[in-house]
Amino acid sequence: MKNLLDVELQKIEKSLWKISKEMYENPELGDQEFESMNLLVTLLKEHEFQTEIGIVGRPTAFKSVFNSGKPGPTIAYLAEYDALPGIGHGCGHNLIGTMSVGAGIILSKIINKIGGSIVVLGTPAEETNGAKVPMSKKGIFDDIDVAMIVHPSDQSYISGDSLAMDAIQFAYTGKSSHASASPEEGINALDGVIQLFNGINALREHLPSDVRIHGIISEGGKAANVVPDFAVGQFYIRAKQRAYLDKVVEKVISIAQGAALMTGTTVEISNYELSYDDMITNQVLSDCFTNNLQQTSKLPINEAKQTYGSIDMGNVSHVVPAIHPYIGLNKPGLIAHTKEFAAQTTTEDGYETLKTGALALAYTGYDVLTDKKLLESIQQEFQRNK
């Protein structure tokens, strides 16, 4: 019956390609992707998906459901569609959104024969304040059996891991004064931020190699002859596992408080973006997808690549079996988050990536829906890892 999915893809592939190119030509930043969301949702509604917009308090998030009316598992495909400032779709989210929507639609054409349900989730702002985080917390995945997304890359790679991440802001308050005439009257908030950086740099010597800490001074004063009464440092802190990241964050917070004590300032500590958990790939589900991608694509599939990035799909993987593989754009060495990457999504290679990715996702969904032993193995692995 899988060959029917190929036939259904042929019916909609031009519509998917048109949407992908429109998203490329009109990139929208996270939580502002109204037109991109509308393009995807309109196509899903045309194919009888029941859709709710604005879920989890995010105006460009959506949930589209196709229920066969027969018992069976629920498959979730996750769509991203936010772009990067000044670059556009340099991470290929125009393809991610259309591949997931396409997979959901073509699988829906045969699901009445096999049972189960399909959910397509629109997940805004992956690049900044990922909506998958509140979705994971607020029960969106409670009735879902597996969750899948496939990400464009230079080459194809098996689903791997990612780093857990906290985005923390340290805002120091001091007292302004004339820096030359009466410096003794001032309390320099910028000194607090500088000592924070110094303390973190000393901490690096005693951290495992997978830990990453990188930050900026987002506010450090207005004029050189005025003692800054307010200064802000913002940091991304990452580690391979959430449990160890929490320990590192505790140390950084202690450094921040010590910096305030040293400089006579006060510090306010807050999260300025949502926290991402580490990605836990479900290997059984991943193997299934890899086998299906080998059937749909002629490009080689590499082992999971070493990554030091963070993705909100990590949060999903802690609540439901999940995968986040990469599909090649047939251009080895192509760097993500560049205009060159964005342009590659609009080529013939990009078109081929869209088709093979959507089909591999649909094939994998079909396997989960029809093979009870496969689903049991997926769930057993998830429970072990949990």
Look at the pTM and tell me if it is higher than 0.85.
yes
Cα 201 to Cα 100, 196, 197, 215, 254, distances in angstroms = 42, 9, 6, 11, 14
The secondary structure element, H or E, covering residue 342 is helix 339-344
Rounded Cα–Cα distance for residues 294 and 150 (Å):
14
pLDDT for 293-304, tens place per residue?
999 999 999 999
pLDDT for 147-186, tens place per residue?
999 999 999 999 999 999 999 999 999 999 999 999 999 9
For the chain, the maximum distance between any two Cα atoms, rounded to a whole number of angstroms, is 83
Provide the pLDDT for residue 386: 79
Rounded Cα–Cα distance for residues 22 and 35 (Å):
9
The residues facing 324 across adjacent strands are none
The rounded percent of the chain whose pLDDT value lies above 90 is: 97
The residues facing 156 across adjacent strands are 301
Fill in the amino acid letter for 283: Q
Phi-psi map region of 56: left, alpha, beta (phi>0 left; psi -120 to 50 alpha)? left
- Given pLDDT bands bounded at 50, 70 and 90, which one contains residue 238? very high
pLDDT for 28-75, tens place per residue?
999 999 999 999 999 999 999 999 999 999 999 999 999 999 999 999
Residue 305 has pLDDT above 90, yes or no: no
Domains of the chain in sequence order: 2-162+278-385 (3.40.630.10), 164-271 (3.30.70.360)
Provide the pLDDT for residue 152: 98
Rounded Cα–Cα distance for residues 115 and 368 (Å):
11
Rounded Cα–Cα distance for residues 102 and 169 (Å):
39
Please provide the DSSP assignment of 80-103 as one string.
----BTTTBSTT-HHHHHHHHHHH
The C-alpha angle 366, 94, 240, rounded to 5 degrees, equals 75
Is the Cβ–Cβ distance between 141 and 48 less than 8 Å? no
The residues facing 65 across adjacent strands are 50, 119
Residue 309 has pLDDT above 90, yes or no: no
Phi and psi angles of residue 118, each rounded to the nearest 5 degrees, phi first:
-125, 135
Rounded Cα–Cα distance for residues 322 and 2 (Å):
22
pLDDT for 99-128, tens place per residue?
999 999 999 999 999 999 999 999 999 998
The rounded percent of the chain whose pLDDT value lies above 70 is: 100
Rounded Cα–Cα distance for residues 384 and 377 (Å):
11
